Structure 1
């Protein structure tokens, strides 16, 4: 009898709390979800803007480098210029400069990190072919470096 009285007293409270919980869940879940998704969208938009700005800055630097190299084709000046560009901006891991003749057949290929073996053929690389095909600045997918065997 005492247990039945206790159940009759507690049951409405439990039902009320359960209904309150369901009502709060139904009301606030869409609001919270929308707010959460909006915050994530804004974070992604900010990351996209920063990335595009960084890539645009790189492209502008490359255009300046191209104009300089066309105006001063001395090989010594080219090497000095590439070295200075890399020293001034830590965003450049490595700079390559080459012509259309493969390095293995006497062509020019300059790399700012380490010397490449004389058997290296830059014209057989995917990044080289893609750059020639676009005839513009091309950003390649990451690849395994020929000399260091590290992901670039």
Structure 2
């Protein structure tokens, strides 16, 4: 991945603070095809987790939300105009847990100022993991929006 933008974010997921805040997401550029975001996480309590792309917009800006919703492909529409490669590596056991391509990820949930596209749900036992997401293809109309990759507990 030489020459590609890369961002690394280190997180610790603990039993008391299981949810990752938006500020804890690793930034993922929507401007550059081949952009990579990486998370290094320490799981304190084994559980099911979701890896997702978070798309951010100003909460009071309904026009921005509509543009982002349409550009990210909606919930049941065609999905985002790009594909992503996801890799989850178990640092302690030195094995790859997942290595897959997700075509045109679709939105799965949303909150105030953020839309989420779940890439994968995975059970992670206690330990250390490296999560890498590489975006391939043009982001089209949403290239100027902020995005990030996060790991959150699945419910």
In the superposition, the TM-score normalised over structure 2's length comes to: 0.24
Higher helix share: 1
Q: Which has the higher contact order (CA 8 A, sep 6+)?
A: 2
Higher strand share: 2
Q: Which has the larger radius of gyration?
A: 1
In the superposition, the TM-score normalised over structure 1's length comes to: 0.24
